[in-house]
A and B are shown apart, each in its own frame.
Chain A
Amino acid sequence: MHIPDGFLDAKTALATGALSAAGLGYALREVRRELPPRRVPLLGLAAAFLFAAQMVNFPVMGGTSGHLVGGALVAVLLGPAAAVVVVATVLIVQCFLFADGGVMALGANLFNMGLTATVGGYAVYRGVARLLPGLRGRVAALAFAGWCSTIIAAAACAGQLAWSGTVAWRVGFPAMVGVHALIGLGEGAVSALVLLAIARTRPDLLPDQPGAAAAPGRVGPFVVFGLLVTLGIALFVAPFACPWPDGLESVAARLGFNHPASSPLLPALIPDYQLPGITSPGLATALAGAAGALVVFLLAIGFSRLVVPREGPALKTEI
C-alpha cells in the first residue's frame, strides 16, 4: 500500500503531510511523557523488529505468499502513541533507504499506515477486548482489529488517489477495498497468531487486559488521534462516500428549487454494492460494509476458539 511519488497532487500531499506531522508530533510528545527512559531503545528495536517481521513470508494459495504489515499488532504490544512513532520510523527508513514509497507521498503513507491503521486498529482492539474476556477475547479482538486497520487504510488510500485525480473513486475504492478485504483476513489471523505466540512464551511482555481495573486509561491520546484520523477521513473519503448530497437534493426538491445541477457532483457508487430493496446507494454501501464487518467479526471469534484452548495458554502443543 506504499504510494509512490507522482501519484498524488500538491494539495493532497500538503494536506496529508500536515495531518501526519501533527499526528507524529503529538505521538512523540506523548511517548516522551509516558515512556520511561529505559524503554526508549525499545522504539528503535521495535521498528527494526517490524521491518524484519515484514520479511517473514506466510504461504498463501498457489505458491504465492504474503507478509505481516503489523500496524495493529505493534499498537497492541506497545500502545498507540509508541506504535505511531515505530511505524512512522519504519516508513521513513523504507522511503529514504529502500526507496519504498515516495518522498512526496510520505505524508499520505504515514497517514494511512502510520496513523489510521495503528490508531484505528488499536481503538477496535480496545473496544472488542473489553467485550470478550480472557486471552481468547484478545486474540479475537486483534484478529478483527487487524482486518479493520487494513480496510480503513485502504479506503483512505483510495480516497487520496481519487482526491488527486489519479484513480476515479468508483474504480479505485472497490478495487482497493475488495483486495484488502482479503489481505486483511490474513493480516488479522497472522497478528493474532503472533500475539498468541508471545502470550505462550513471555506473557509478561503483553500489556494488561483492557477491561482490567488498572488498565492505563488516559483519554487525551484517543481524542487527539481520533480527531486527526476523523479529519483525514472526512477530507479524503467522505466527499465520495457519504450519502448527504442525496439528502441535500431531496431537500432542494421539496423546497422547490430543483433546477438541474449543471454537472454531476459525485460519481455514482458501484451498483454491485446495492442490496435489494434499498434505494439510497450510500445506505446500501454502508449496510453491505456493516454486514461484511459482522461476518469478519464472527470469523475472528471462531478463529480465536480454534486456536486458543479452553483453559487459556496451556502448554499443550498444537498439531
Chain B
Amino acid sequence: MTVLAPPSFASGDPRANRAVLCWPAAAKMAGALVLITGTAVVPAGWKLWFAGVALLLGVVWALGRLPPGPVLRRLLALSPFVAGVALAAAWSPGGVLDWKITALRSGLCLATVILLAQATPFAEMLAVMRRVHVPALLVTTIALMHRYLFVLADEAERMRRARASRTFTTGRRFAWWAAATVVGQLFVRATERAERVYDAMGARGWR
C-alpha cells in the first residue's frame, strides 16, 4: 500500500511563487479546459498547437517554480496504457492511428491537469464548481470525500498494520480474508463516522 502524496504540492512549498497560486481559480480551470479540449481534438497535423501548449505549460511551470518530480512520476505511470494501445495499434492491420501522436496528446493533457491540481487549492475549485451551478449535492459529496480521503486512507493503513502485526502467515487464502476484513471494517467505520459527521453538521446549522 502506498502512502498518499499530498494533493497540492505547491501550497505547502515555501519556494513556490505565490503569483501563480493567486491567479483566479476560474481562469485557471477555464484555461486548462481549453488546452485539454484543444489538445484532444485538433488534427494530428497541427504540430504548432502541440508545441505551443508544451511551451505554455513550461512557462507556467517555471513561473510557479513548481517541483518537476510529481509530473514526471505520473507520466511514467501513464506509460502502461500508452504502451498497451501502441501494441494493439501495431497488431491492427494498416495501423489504425499513429500512437506517438496519441501518446503526445495524453501526455500534454496529463501535464495540464497536474499543473492545475498543483497550482489551485481544491477548495477554490469547489467554489468555482458551485458558482457554475454544479448540483449542490454533488459538490457536497466531493467536498466531504476530499476531506475524509486521507483520514480513511490512514485508517486503512493503520488497520492493515495492526492486522499484520497480530497475524503471522504467508498463506494467500488468508491474506485475501484479512484484506477483505480490513475493507469491510473500513466500510463499517466510514458509516459510523458519517453519522457523527451528520450530527456535527447539524449542530453547526447545516440545512
Which residues of A does B touch, CB under 8 Å? 2-10, 13, 24-25, 28, 31-32, 37-49, 51-53, 55-59, 68, 77, 85-86, 88-90, 92-93, 95-99, 102-104, 161, 165-168, 171-172, 175, 189-190, 193-198, 200-202, 205, 318-319
Contacts and interface: CB of A to CB of B under 8 A. Distances in A.
B57 interface: no
A60 to B, nearest CB: 8
B7 A97 contact: yes
5 contacts: A4-B110, A44-B143, A44-B147, A53-B156, A197-B180
Question: Interface of chain B, helix or strand or loop or mixed?
Answer: helix
Contacts of A5: 36, 39-40, 105-106, 109-110
Contacts of A57: 1, 179
A58 B191 contact: no
B176 to A, nearest CB: 6
Interface string B69-82: 00000100010011
A44 B148 contact: yes
Contact of A45 (B89, B175, B190): B190
Interface of B: 1-2, 4, 7, 32-33, 36-37, 39-41, 74, 78, 81-82, 84-85, 88-89, 91-93, 96-97, 102-106, 108-110, 113-114, 116-117, 122, 125, 135, 137-138, 140-149, 151-153, 155-156, 160, 172, 174-177, 179-188, 190-191, 193-195, 197-198, 201, 207
A51 B40 contact: no
B191 A42 contact: yes
Contact of A190 (B117, B176, B186): B176
Contact of B144 (A13, A39, A45): A45
A166 B177 contact: no
Nearest to A61: B172
Contacts of A28: 135, 137-138
Contacts of B103: 6
B88 A175 contact: yes
B145 A44 contact: yes
B39 A6 contact: yes
Contacts of A175: 84, 88
A96 B116 contact: yes
A102 B37 CA distance: 10
Contacts of A92: 142
A25 to B, nearest CB: 7
A77 to B, nearest CB: 7
Given A52-B156, A95-B113, A99-B113, A47 B145 contact: yes
A52 B103 CA distance: 29
B68 to A, nearest CB: 15
Tell me which of A31, A45, A195, A197 has the highest count of chain B C-beta atoms within 10 A of its own C-beta: A45
Given A41-B194, A97-B7, A165-B96, 20 more contacts: A5-B39, A31-B137, A39-B194, A40-B198, A42-B191, A42-B194, A44-B144, A47-B144, A48-B151, A51-B152, A53-B183, A58-B175, A77-B187, A97-B146, A102-B110, A166-B97, A167-B85, A196-B180, A201-B185, A202-B188
A104 B40 contact: yes
A167 B186 contact: no
B193 A45 contact: yes
A185 to B, nearest CB: 12
Given A194-B180, A201-B188, A4 B175 contact: no
A99 B92 contact: no
B195 A38 contact: yes
Contacts of B113: 95-96, 99, 102-103
